Structures are given as structure tokens and as C-alpha cells.
Amino acid sequence: MKRLPQIALLPDGKRLHLQDGPIDLVIEASGSEGEVRAAYEAAARRFNGLLDELCGELTELRKAADPACSALRGVVARRMYAAVAPFAAGHFITPMAAVAGSVAEEILGAMLAEARLDRAYVNNGGDIALHLTGAEHFAVGLMDRPDHRGVMQTMRIDAGDSARGIATSGRHGRSFSLGIADAVTVLAKTAAQADAAATVIANAVDLPGHPGIVRLPANQLQPDSDLGARLVTRSVGALGEGEIDDALNAGVNRAQQLLAEGLIEGAALRLLGETALVGSTGIRASALPGFHESPLEKPAHV
Amino acid sequence: MTDATVAGGDKIRCDACPVMCYIKPGAAGACDRYANHNGELVRVDPHIVLERTVSHGGRLVPFQAGGDWDGKIVHEPNVFVTAIGAGTTYPDYKPAPFIVSSEVDGVDMVTVVTEGIFSYCGVKVKIDTDRYLGPETATVRAEGEAIGHVTTSEYGSQMLSLGGVHHLTGGSKKEGRVTCDALMDLSNCKPVELTIDGGATVVVQAGYPPIVNGVAEERMRVGCGSATIGMFAKQWHGKVDEVVVVDDHITGVLSEHQAGKLLDIPDTGIKMKGRRSTPGRYFQVADPGTGWGGTNISDPLSVLGPFNPKEARPGLTMLMVSTTGEHAAYYELDEALRPIQKQMPPDLKFSVERIQENCEPALCTVLFMGGAGGSLRAGVTDNPVRLTRSVKDALTRVTSGGAPVYVWPGGGITFMVDVTQMPAGAFGYVPTPALVAPIEFTLRLSDYAALGGHMDHVRPLASLRDNTETRQMPYMPGGRA
């Protein structure tokens, strides 16, 4: 049976939606009409067969990355490996930690190879590759709980900023987390780097051995998880303010290391209503448009 | 469609795509689209989320049905555009923690006024139970944080007043967050465990029976103890010598009660504890609690003193029952005039069942209450006070998620709505903290223009049909809700 990826414009007629298996992309490009059409056609072309390409090397992609070398061959697989390799020496990490961002980057690259765009994004379930030129910018809304509605804060990314990738990781998302962060959002030069770094920092937001945190082996939940029998966070009980600070600080320390190594541009860490910021995040603590009565709280840390 | 192979244990292997996930029962694959339901691969429909979250533009507008608007306030009763999902542009139909979207007025991430952010909001909870939940004004807590208080009780019900601006923003950060979470869950018809200082722990869920100290309440009482005597005296007459209806408020005694007197039921020498109000009606026979009839007793005989030997006689029969019929016991006096519990005769059992039958099911009901007096109105009109006046003049009908609301008289647009009438998941939050609730204003197009409406953003209803979820509403009241 032939499986066909879903390729369609969203009902607003502006955004392109591509879906195949677990890959789910929402894409928007701005520029002249012809360029946008060419970009969307290029995105769809590149998307066809991309999942099969990845799955051809899935076994290898699910293994711990060796910091020194990799037998991976596909261009997306190589990008995934390159993004996680800087973390592989000290910790267990598989190239899968960067899959969403790497795919987003690949599709954006295909679009830009075929069309001249003022501005574009490829959003792969929250891991986003960006393109900005001239005076363009993006305003990005942050959420810490995908199951709750409402935007927590906004951040602004200008064409002059170095960040072209955004990713969020945390225990509420589709992937498992070894840590307890509700959401860690990372800005990095590429989406693949942001994806890998968000995973690493979210894992670091933790209180090892805390009795209120329920953890289960990943493969008990998802038999073929790349995390194997490693304990992943299922629920977080009540934590004291001091404990929240401790867990966030552990994540902040990790993020600051990555910032110093040039692996990220900035990060926003969120745990149980507390926020910590590292580096440049473009977060505006001002009110959202239209809600002058309810200014958002300023981030509490750093 | 796709096949799946059963692979070891009750895991299945999905072949919907080349990832070929192994999926455990009750779990979904990596895509969240296919799941293992009792060993069968099923498609988990993602389109609900899609329909709910697709953005439909940034302004509140009245909707012109099919181009031939005739000025009726409710033109098509079955089609009503709610504000749910209108509030945020949310381009990905998987819950994505990050959002990029290109939208209105140079702001990429748009939150619009049709999902109002209510800092001034709370819920009023009515809990159908006679069980003692706690003293009036006692603090109500969730996760240990104060989120509201016990207020005046109503007929057969205990009332809680939760939320409000003081708990949301006036206390500690945690208090605000916990209050916001509890309000949102209650408003979205999810269960919330509340503990009351000096009282009970109660699980409240709109539309479901309360669970008081771990026990689900089944019925509202049929009436107070005295009312129960009045309702059932004739049915007991001739079948039993004495009936005591145990109630925290007013305990009734058949032989002394006016209803018993009218039936010429003779005195039985019964001696009640508590304070006599009028004949056959006693206050405070016991302390409030979660036992018989909302008292703290588990042995009903504890509300009786010794029988008076002048009137009582061995063999005298007595039924004791609570106001819900949930508790009942039958006694006969022995030679020493002590009540001894015996098996209840069938016709008395029948009368107890009749009490149960006449009790309505106990429910928790939650009314969301919010004030939409501030900047929200600016999204509707350039001249906000005109909107308020228009609501007061009944030119504009206010609904919340399509459900009718009661607008409090007086200043502002403060309304109450039954959350069970609203579509699922209608409420959200922002970390201010405050709740996000849908609110719609429906009015004649001409009236809308007259009050300074954003006429350039008016869209025909048909333009929304393709990308929004259409639901049947329970009913659509005409005129002012």
C-alpha cells in the first residue's frame, strides 16, 4: 500500500502543511507570490521520501552518538549527528534528540535554494527553522504547557540576530524528558542545534532522587524508545520554592556552559510557574497586544 | 487504512509509516496519530485540535449569515460562532510549545479580545449535599493554597465561592497559580480536590456528584426532617408507631409533629436531644458531620434520651431514617423500654425507598463569573462604553462559548455562566495569572456600526464554515440571556 504524505495549504490559504508519519510541518514564507509558490513546491518535493530516508538509518539514529565518528550517511541524519556530537562525550545522547530541528532545517534549505524569500519559517511541532532578511523579524509566543491554552511571553527575533533556530523541550511534549522542566526554549544558530541543546538543558533541570517525582523506564512506555531503560519523568509532585530554584539553577548552569561554548544564543527555562533566562532571548516582559490590563510578570531569575 | 502485526505480549507494530513503532496497549505511536486500543491499531483523530486551534483572524466581529442578514438577533439557531480558539493564532495542530505565525498589524503572535482575559473572575460552586463541608467563611484550599471560602448554604446544598482577584493576584505567586489552575479545571468540567479548613475534603466536578471524604454523594435530601414527616406521615400511619427523620437542620418526630397530630397518632414517650423549635421539630440534635442526615452520628439512637415509661410500652415500633433515605433502621422497645434493632418490615422498607426515589441526584454545579468591563471592549468597538450601554439596553446579547449568561445589573459587564453548557476545553489561562474565557457579543449589524464597531473586519459566516468546528448547542435562547 502506498503511503502518501499530506500536503495542503491550511485554511488561511497562506500556510503550508506537510505531514508524514510523525513529521508534521507548518510552513509560511513571505515574498512575491511567485517566489512563495516556488518555495512551497520545493518544500513539498523535498518532503516526499524524507521520512523513508530517515527510517533507512533509524536503527543507527537510535543508538548513542559516538563523539568521534558516525557511520550515518543521509544529509539529515548527518545533521542530526553533528548537532548532538558536542554533547556525546559527557552524556548519553542519540541523534534522535535533533530530529525535529534537522528536518525543519532541511525543508527550509530546500525552499531557500529555489526561491528568494523575505522571511520564512518551518515549524516542526515547535522546533522551528527561521529565515529573516533586511528589516524583517519574528514575534514568537512561548507556552510552557501544551495542554493549557494561552501564551506565556513573547520573544522577538530580528534579522540582525544570529539565531535562526528555535526549539522547545520539556516533560509535556511528545518526546520523553529525563528532567522535570515544563519547557526549555532555546535559541541557536540552527534549528538542529537548538533542538539538541533544548533536550540537554531540559534534562539538566532536575532534582535527582526527589521522592515527589515519578519516573519510569522509557521502554516500558514506548518499547522502541531510543532512551532504552533510562528513567523518564512522568509526573512532578509539589515542590517547595527552594527546590524549584535548585532545579532551575541546575539547568541554568548547563545552559551557561553551552552559551560559553557557542552552542546556543539564549534559553528560557520554565518550571512550575518560575522562569529563568540565559543569554539573549529577545523576551519582552511588556503586555501582550490588546491586554493592557494584564501585564505579564517579569521573569524572576537571572 | 493500515495493518498492524501483533508482536510479543500485547504490543502491536504499526505499519502506517516506515517508523514502524511498537505501541503498547493504551499508548500512541511517535506520531500521536495511531494508537493501540486493546490490541487494535486505531487512528486517533487529530482534527478536533486542528479545528479548534486554526486561527480565524484577529478581531471580534459580528457574523453576517449568507449575505442576507435580516436583522434578527439570532438568525440561524444552529450555527453560532463561538470565541473559543479565536484568541490565539496557533498554526500547528499538534500541541506545540512554540508558535510562529504571521498575522495582524505587524504582530506575529496575536491574542485577540474575543477570548477575554479575566483577572476579575471566579467560580461559584453549588454542592448538593447535607453533609457538613465546613463552617461558613472557612478557607477552601487546593494543593494547600487558599483559593476561596465557604459561603452561605442554600437549599440542600453547600456553596463555595472560589477565586476572585485577591486569590489570583493578591497573595503569593503560588497561591495565584494554584487558584488559576483550580478555576480553569473546574470551569473545564474537570475534577478538583478541595479541602476546607476545619471541615471535609471534597472532590468537585461540574455535572457530577460530589465526593465528600472519599464517599460519592448520591442524592439531595428530599426536604428537612420536618418536611419529610409532613410528606410521608400518611404513608407511615398504621404501619409504625413512631418515626424520627434525622437531619442536621431540623429533625422531625412523627408523633409530636403537626402531621402526626392531625392523624391522631398517639404519644410514644420518645425523648429527643437537641433544642425543640415547635412540636415535633428539633434543632441541633447532633453536631454537623458526614453521617446520618448531615450530622456526625453513625448510631441514630444517640439522638434519643430514655423513653418515658408513662407513655412508652414494650413492643412499640419505631423507624429512624435520614432525609435522603440513605440511612434507615427499625427498632422495637424491649421490656425495659430500650429500642432494639430488628429487621425492617417490607412496607417500611418501601417507604424508605420512596424517600430515596423523591430525592434528586446530587450534583456539583459550577458557575463561572467574570467581569468584562475593561480593555476587552476596545476589541469590539472604538468607544467601549457604548458596548456596555448596548448590553444594558439589551441590544447586544452576551454569550460565553455560545452558552447563555446572566449579566449582573449595575456597572460593567459582569456575567455568570453554567460551565456545563459550554463546549469542552473552553477555558484557558495566562500566567498573570488570569483565566481566558470566551465571550461573544451578538447584535444587529446596524447597531454594531452605530456603536463604533470595526466594520472593516466584518466577515460573512460562510467564510468561517470551512475551518471551524460547528457544534450543536443545547439551546439558543432568544432575547437577552
Chain A positions in Cβ-Cβ contact with residue B431 (cut-off 8 Å) = 144, 150, 152, 273, 296-297
* CB spacing of B88 vs A30 below 8 angstroms: no
**Which is it for the CA torsion B295, B301, B306, B308, positive or negative?**
positive
Confidence at residue A17, expressed as pLDDT on a 0 to 100 scale: 87
Distance CA(A86)–CA(B51), nearest Å, equals 41
C-beta separation of A301 from A256 below 8 A: no
Distance CA(B180)–CA(B165), nearest Å, equals 10
C-beta separation of B179 from B167 below 8 A: yes
Q: Say yes or no: A98 and A141 in one domain.
A: no
Residue in chain B closest to A297 (alpha carbons) equals B432
Distance CA(A37)–CA(A18), nearest Å, equals 15
Cell numbers given for A106: 532541511
Q: Say yes or no: A19 and A89 in one domain.
A: yes
**Average pLDDT of the residues in A274-301:** 48
**Residues facing residue B276 across a β-bridge:** B282
Cell numbers given for A121: 519559517
Q: Say yes or no: A298 and A174 in one domain.
A: yes
Cell numbers given for A23: 513529521
Cell numbers given for B145: 493554597
Q: Say yes or no: A177 and A48 in one domain.
A: no
pLDDT of A151 > 60? The answer is no
Distance CA(B411)–CA(B120), nearest Å, equals 14
Q: Beta strand B317-322 with B242-246: parallel, antiparallel or unpaired?
A: parallel
Q: Say yes or no: A34 and A94 in one domain.
A: yes
Q: Which of A133, A152, A177 corresponds to the end of one domain? A: A133
Q: Which of A172, A291, A296, A297 to substitute to test the interface with B, most B CBs within 10 Å?
A: A291
C-beta separation of A290 from B58 below 8 A: no
Distance CA(A288)–CA(B112), nearest Å, equals 10
- The answer, for A282 touching chain B at a CB cutoff of 8 Å, is no
Confidence at residue A106, expressed as pLDDT on a 0 to 100 scale: 97
* CB spacing of A150 vs B429 below 8 angstroms: yes
Query: pLDDT in tens for each of the 481 residues of chain B?
Result: 444 455 445 788 887 777 888 888 878 787 766 778 777 777 663 332 222 222 332 222 223 333 333 333 333 322 334 444 333 222 222 222 222 222 323 323 221 123 456 778 899 999 998 788 999 999 999 999 999 999 998 888 999 999 998 998 888 888 998 999 999 999 989 999 999 999 999 999 999 999 999 888 888 887 888 889 988 999 999 999 999 999 888 899 999 999 999 899 999 999 999 898 889 999 988 888 778 888 888 899 999 999 999 999 999 999 999 998 989 999 999 999 999 999 999 999 999 999 988 888 889 999 999 887 555 565 556 666 777 776 667 666 777 777 788 888 887 788 899 998 877 777 877 666 778 777 777 666 656 666 665 655 555 444 444 444 444 333 333 322 2
DSSP 8-state code for residue B385: H
- How many CB atoms are closer than 10 A to CB B450? 14
B48: closest CA among B77, B81, B84?
B84
**Average pLDDT of the residues in A177-183:** 90
Q: Which of A133, A153, A188 corresponds to the end of one domain? A: A133
Chains A and B form CB pairs within 8 A to the count of 192
- How many domains does chain A contain in total? 2
Q: Which of A122, A127, A149, A274 to substitute to test the interface with B, most B CBs within 10 Å?
A: A149
B420: closest CA among B370, B369, B371, B365?
B365
- The answer, for A65 touching chain B at a CB cutoff of 8 Å, is no
* CB spacing of A241 vs B109 below 8 angstroms: no
The model's pTM: 0.50
pLDDT of A163 > 80? The answer is yes
Q: Which element (helix H / strand E) includes A197?
A: helix A191-204
Q: Say yes or no: A117 and A209 in one domain.
A: no
Q: Say yes or no: A209 and A118 in one domain.
A: no
Confidence at residue B305, expressed as pLDDT on a 0 to 100 scale: 92
Q: How many helices (H) and strands (E) does chain A have?
A: 8, 14
pLDDT of A107 > 80? The answer is yes
How would you classify residue B284: left for phi > 0, otherwise alpha for psi between -120 and 50, otherwise beta?
left
- The answer, for A176 touching chain B at a CB cutoff of 8 Å, is no
Q: What is the ipTM of this complex?
A: 0.77
pLDDT of A9 > 90? The answer is no
Cell numbers given for B144: 494547600
CA end-to-end span of chain A: 54
Cell numbers given for A221: 512506555
Q: Beta strand B211-212 with B201-204: parallel, antiparallel or unpaired?
A: antiparallel
Confidence at residue B382, expressed as pLDDT on a 0 to 100 scale: 66
DSSP 8-state code for residue A21: T
Chain A positions in Cβ-Cβ contact with residue B428 (cut-off 8 Å) = 148-150
Residue in chain A closest to B2 (alpha carbons) equals A1
Confidence at residue B206, expressed as pLDDT on a 0 to 100 scale: 93
B457-461: long-range contacts, CB 8 A cutoff, minimum separation 24:
B457/B57, B457/B59, B457/B61, B458/B61, B458/B62, B458/B63, B458/B64, B459/B57, B459/B61, B459/B63, B459/B64, B460/B63, B460/B64, B460/B65, B460/B66, B460/B67, B461/B63, B461/B64, B461/B65, B461/B66, B461/B76, B461/B79, B461/B81
Q: Crossing angle of helices A99-114/A33-47, nearest 10°?
A: 130
Q: Say yes or no: A204 and A278 in one domain.
A: yes
**Residue A39: domain span:** 1-133
Q: Which of A102, A133, A164 corresponds to the end of one domain? A: A133
- The answer, for B93 touching chain A at a CB cutoff of 8 Å, is yes
Q: Say yes or no: A98 and A196 in one domain.
A: no
Cell numbers given for B36: 493501540
Chain B positions in Cβ-Cβ contact with residue A118 (cut-off 8 Å) = none
**Average pLDDT of the residues in A269-275:** 85
* CB spacing of B32 vs A174 below 8 angstroms: yes
Q: Say yes or no: A177 and A266 in one domain.
A: yes
Q: Say yes or no: A75 and A104 in one domain.
A: yes
How long, in residues, is chain B?
481
- The answer, for B316 touching chain A at a CB cutoff of 8 Å, is no
Query: Between A28, A55, A146, which is nearest B97 by CB?
Result: A146
Residue in chain A closest to B54 (alpha carbons) equals A11
- The answer, for A33 touching chain B at a CB cutoff of 8 Å, is no
**Residues facing residue B245 across a β-bridge:** B252, B321
Distance CA(A16)–CA(A30), nearest Å, equals 12
With H, G, I as helix, E, B as strand and everything else as coil, classify residue B216.
Answer: strand
* CB spacing of A149 vs B427 below 8 angstroms: yes
CA A258 to chain centre: 16
Q: Which element (helix H / strand E) includes A266?
A: strand A266-271
Q: Say yes or no: A146 and A119 in one domain.
A: no
B192: closest CA among B200, B202, B410?
B202
Q: For residue B33, what are the CA distances in angstroms to A156, A269, A290, B323, B470? A: 32, 29, 36, 51, 22
Chain B positions in Cβ-Cβ contact with residue A24 (cut-off 8 Å) = 31, 92-94
pLDDT of A232 > 60? The answer is yes
